[in-house]
Amino acid sequence: MSGPVAPLSTHGDAVLTGLRLVDGIDLVPRADLAIVVRDGLIAAILPANEAPASTIDLGGAFVMPGLINMHTHFSLSLPGAGGDAVSALSEHDLALYMADGARRTLLSGVTTVRCVAEKDGADFALRRAIEQGHVPGPRIYTAGRSLCCTGGHGHDTDDTLECDGPDAFTRGVRSQVKQGADLIKIMISGGIAGEHEQITTPQLTREEMAAAITTAHAWGRKVTAHAGPAAIIAEAVELGLDCVEHGYELTPEVARLMAERGAALVPTLVVTRAGAFFDDLGVPPWMQERSLNAGPRHLQSYRYALEAGVEVLLGSDMPPFWDFEGTSAVVREMEHMQAGGLSAPDVIRAATAGPAGWLDASGAIGTLAPGRFADLIAMPEDPTVSASALRGIDFVMKGGVVVRDDEGRMR
């Protein structure tokens, strides 16, 4: 043995050439450029003929920022045999299971995630392990455990914390901030995965929502909410809610309110079109029926949001890397977003610069510009024409470190 073995590299150097750049700012691809990476950051973007000697020639590939998935659960356990197996894992087994999901997520082209309910604080340990180079994975922003009422959405798993009354929700927010949460998630209605509820079931009082939102904002954390029906969404948005997850039953009026108040939407369209995924996990018939039947109304809600000018952000809910309908779940979500009415360039923004802005991280991620992390992906086809181009992702870099190189471009 020649010397000590270092942990995984978390930052690197490179000069990328032979690329067509979609930088997340100007969404028209630009050719004849080179990206110079130093110590994990983009040091310069130069005309190719002015760049230092190339270390990686991408052969004409389209390069864009790494994807940011704003609705991720590494410890997801839905009703059914697959979810029961995850719930039965010991804390040690769960940590390894989540680490494998993080690795596969990164390899799928997702370089940053926003976790919106994880079990028992394991997400904080996973984040530390990734940052320290112990395991590979995306950058993690996390809500820790989500907050629900007694018997509320997700109450039967360890990724939620049951609270009742304003005081309990105040303590719940503070408990997650204490662990290191970057944001707070609250469950304000029923959903597709709760057997004893409906999507339309309101679950928090106005006072409970106000307590959670006010406390989180006082601590400098934004709040997102699992939410289905329009009325409860409107009430939460009026109280200062920053983001809506799913939004299954928006109305034009509530969509306009969201746009006026700057509340974003993470639509997760794929979750009401996920029959094959549910089959994989052995999800019971009642949940499958509720989910798939909600699909048409869910899509209409999404269109209301687009028409109103609501900012929509990418989030798959399903594991981003899941092999689904010929691609990954995260790419399939992007295809649904485009098919539902968002242009391909705007889908790119919803997957990169938009989420970075919501996370208050625009100076670090979401675009390819000097001073940002060198988090990027490459593919042969043009993603500004069709989101389906991302089915061809064959190169992934995070912090200047190449983690996927299907074509063997590194020599």
Q: Is it the case that residue 68 has pLDDT exceeding 60?
A: yes
**E strands present in 85-196:** 110-115, 139-142, 146-148, 160-162, 183-187
Q: Is it the case that residue 411 has pLDDT exceeding 70?
A: no
Q: Is it the case that residue 135 has pLDDT exceeding 60?
A: yes
What domains are there in the chain, each with its CATH number?
14-66+367-405 (2.30.40.10), 67-358 (3.20.20.140)
Q: Is it the case that residue 118 has pLDDT exceeding 90?
A: yes
Name the percent of the chain lying above pLDDT 90. 85
Mean pLDDT value across the chain: 95
Radius of gyration in angstroms for the set of CA atoms belonging to the chain, rounded to a whole number: 21
Neighbouring C-beta atoms of residue 289, cutoff 10 Å: 11
80's enclosing H/E stretch is none
| Confidence at 145, pLDDT banded by 50, 70, 90 | very high
Q: What is the pLDDT of residues 162-217, one digit of tens each?
A: 999 999 999 999 999 999 999 999 999 998 877 788 888 999 999 999 999 999 99
Q: What is the pLDDT of residues 303-344, one digit of tens each?
A: 999 999 999 999 999 999 999 999 999 999 999 999 999 999
Going by C-beta distance under 8 Å and a sequence separation of 6 or more, which residues neighbour residue 122?
A: 74, 75, 91, 94, 95, 98
- The token pair at 96 is 């390894």
Position 409 scores a pLDDT of 84
Strand 14-21 and strand 376-379: the pairing is unpaired
